Structure 1
Amino acid sequence: MSLEMIQHRLTRSGVAVIYDDVPDSRWWLLRTLPAIAYLGVDQFTFPTSWRQLDGGQQYQFPGYDYHVLGGIELEEGSDLCVLTNEYYELQTQYSIQPLVTEFSTEESTLVVLTENERFTPDGGQRPLSQEQFATRVGPADRIYKAFSEYYDQEGWELPLTDTQNLFIQDNASLYSLVTGEDLSNTTELFDRLPEAPYLPLYWVFCDVFARPNEYGSVPLDSDDQVPALGNWLRRRIEWERKTAIDVAKTLNRTVSDDGSTFDPSYARRSPKLRDARTARQRLAPEESRIDARYHDWLSDIN
């Protein structure tokens, strides 16, 4: 299925259903969020705990607005994507059934991404994808494949072999554009991240390691928070627990060793931004939406 056809299905009024058959829906399910955002849906809701470290401050990758389920106020005609799983639907008070009922008669679209095609909202009589008002988009793999073909057509690629998260893929491509070094997996990207303040991913961790009323970056201050950061990463990147925690420990240790790492004031003065500005000149934002995205990211660091 082409990217245009997928986008058409996502913009039909009613409910559009996507499933991502991940091994454990506590993890990885947010990997498809950037792809949906790139398709034009920029309002999202999912369990708040998926944004938190150890039940505290909330963090996210850029590119979308987040809403708490039960307190959603959208502008008229706005589309919304909800990511959930059977546990949250059936074992907690956070059923998406009220949203399904509301959007089933709306002109706008509710995109539902869950862990399997048999997902049935609490109280439903049949799987959501089989409802008359629902459009079955299919598996998330189909969306990723369509994006991969689109990137190829635009003269880019998705270089990392171990993730379907397009935001992470884009950061790897942007790193290669600036440095000339190709990356092939996610851990390579995170190894180089502390030295790449021109990447939008870098600024996510500026937030993670910031503390109110303290200067510079500050390492996470409890034994619980580092594993929690690993879990936060696992919801977005296809890592096993050990890999995620090892990456979280390395990032935290880097901040502990050098308080200028992930410090916005230092990042904005980094000499590496000159290389980023030079690389920006090689982009053609008027000709390619991918180039335009990268150009915007490299412009935001000024």
Structure 2
Amino acid sequence: MYLSKMSITDYQDYLTYATHAYAQDKIQAGTWSPAEAQTLAAESFQRLLPDGPNTPDHYVFSLMQEGIDQPIGILWIHAQDQKAFIYDFEINSAYRGQGYGKAALKVAEQWAHTQGIREIGLHVFAHNQSAYHLYKKMGYLETDISMVRQIDAEPQPTQHATATTFSEKLDSLIALRESGRASQDTAVLKEALTGFQDLIHAHPQEPVLHYQIGICFDNLGFTNDAIPHYERAISLGLGEDDLRRCYLGLGSSYRVTGQYAHSLAILEKAVEQFPEY
């Protein structure tokens, strides 16, 4: 197997497929409505790959196998400062279960070595056990593990439905989000996200709303969508109590998405501003 820089023609096909798939994921997750999903997905790809396969520090490859005259999959890597992050990796359905996934990761490591890269990162959801076990077999190590313990208690009624003032609505939505995070209840997190998004239409310059939306996206696993809200919250003058945690969330999100230089810069800024934290 070998890597071949994706042609413009193949990239357009990939972009069409990937944008649609991303939009469908967002619709299924309840994050975007069907009416807006395709547009927002296209904007996400445009933000990450403004020059397509020629975007600096991004490498979009077709996975090629000797004896097969068409790509068997794709590999998209971001590389910077001797570190790389796999944004997308997929073996086409007709070629799965034949060892090509393992072979592709080996080829990716060989390519990384020639580029002077010392570390490759990626993200995998806990429910994707087949990918998780493949990465474990290939020597990838877990660097972050989220754990939750369920506490038996009488359910508390949420108050956001009857809240009238901005402060009351905000407090009730934060409580709802915290409840969803603690219980890992996706439906509750989506409900909180929708509430924050509805509220921000009337208060677009409110930094705490951008911060809370960023947290919701993070909790739902949509790290790329969290980043602009964390950034916006900081630029709008987020209060110090939340600012420390926002710096940490943004730095972590940059790292998870392979933007290591940005991650280091924002965390250094946080340490400088909050040396005791």
TM-score range, shorter chain: 0.3 to 0.5
> Whose relative contact order is higher, 1 or 2, with alpha carbons under 8 Å and at least 6 apart?
1
Larger of the two Rg values belongs to structure: 2
TM-score (norm. length: structure 1): 0.31
